[in-house]
Amino acid sequence: MKKTIASGMRPTGKLHLGHYLGVIQNWVSLQDQYDCYFFAADWHALTTKFDKTETLAQDTLDVITDWLASGLDPARATLYVQSLVPQIAELNILLGMITPQNWVERDPTLKDLVKMHADISYGMLGYPVLMSSDIMAFNAHAVPVGSDQVAHIEITRDIARRFNNIYKTNFFIEPEPVLNDCALICGLDGQKMGKSFDNDIKISDTDEVTAKKVMSAITDPARVRRDDTGNPDQCQVAFKYWQIFGTPVQIEAAQSECRAGSRGCADCKRQLAAVINEKFAPVRERRRYFEQNQDEVKQIITDGSAKARAKAQETLTEVKKIIGIYR
């Protein structure tokens, strides 16, 4: 029998290349090996955006549209929306009872969130327990995430172990994080790529928009004129992108022509944009299809959520039996 993986993403709207390279590509490659549960974590979005919900429903749909465009396949993976699986919320209550307060307060990722959002809610404090419920509702063996999420999964392992100890069972698996070995892509300004920093390239951007954005990327600041000799190691964005998107031959050419002063930064970025656009052409074509067929996306969410509910209910029934709740 295949092992199970579960992973989610907060629906922050249309996804960028950082999401694609850091997480989604990994998910796509795991679809055949594992029994996969991938979801839009809309409850988690509410931990910070409870008062900005105008776009939440559309953002949820957009995120799943981007997944389908990227090659997640509802025939091979269960794709759903967290809030359509209330069993997760019920498990969250039960796991909340056995989680010591200081475990959640210790969570370093939560501490970062708290720094950004001064007043924190009860729900926000429960972030790691809810995330554990997401994972444990499917009794997942593994959780493919970006490296920023590993601390949360440590708590999940602790909660699973504690449940097993308290109720003298070995029901819950202690899930392992699965990290992607892909290099982190920086934003067009050399900082972390992020929607709110206005430095990202979206999966859904057109070729023209992508080219325009790539042309704005920072290069070697010491290189002023076209035929100045450049230093790719000092190139703050463009050469880093070449290393992610180029073939070895293209990377070598970019490097040696830059050093020789025979390729200007503008030319270099024009070529780079073409390479990126070529890579995303099939993704963008699928995205156009799903954009024009949103009812199909909604049906995929409806079906996936029903499957997820059935599986989570099995877990919950077993958990209630183990705890000894009146059934």
Give contact residues for ligand TRP (rule: CB under 6 A). 6-10, 41, 44, 131, 134-135, 143, 145, 149
Nearest alpha carbon to residue 190 among 148, 211, 218: 218
Minimum Å gap between C-beta 325 and ligand TRP is 24
Minimum Å gap between C-beta 134 and ligand TRP is 4
Minimum Å gap between C-beta 177 and ligand TRP is 9
Bridge partners, 29 (sequence order)? none
- Whats the size of the chain, residue-wise? 327
**Are the C-beta atoms of 193 and 185 separated by less than 8 Å?**
yes
Nearer to ligand TRP, 192 or 288 (CB): 192
Helix, strand, coil: what percent of the chain each, to 5? 60, 10, 30
- The two tokens of residue 310 are 């059935």
Amino acid at position 44, single letter: H
Nearer to ligand TRP, 9 or 91 (CB): 9
Q: Which is it for strands 176-178 and 142-144: parallel, antiparallel or unpaired?
A: parallel
Nearest alpha carbon to residue 282 among 13, 24, 102, 71: 71
Minimum Å gap between C-beta 79 and ligand TRP is 14
Minimum Å gap between C-beta 83 and ligand TRP is 12
- The two tokens of residue 148 are 């920023």
Minimum Å gap between C-beta 142 and ligand TRP is 10
Minimum Å gap between C-beta 152 and ligand TRP is 6
- The two tokens of residue 175 are 């899930």
Residue 30 φ then ψ, to 5°: -95, -5
Nearer to ligand TRP, 45 or 238 (CB): 45
Nearer to ligand TRP, 6 or 72 (CB): 6
Nearer to ligand TRP, 7 or 271 (CB): 7
Nearer to ligand TRP, 108 or 282 (CB): 108
Nearer to ligand TRP, 48 or 250 (CB): 48
User: Which residues neighbour 227 within 8 Å (Cβ) at sequence distance 6 or greater?
Assistant: 261, 262, 264
Question: Rounded CA gap, 30 and 160, in Å?
Answer: 24
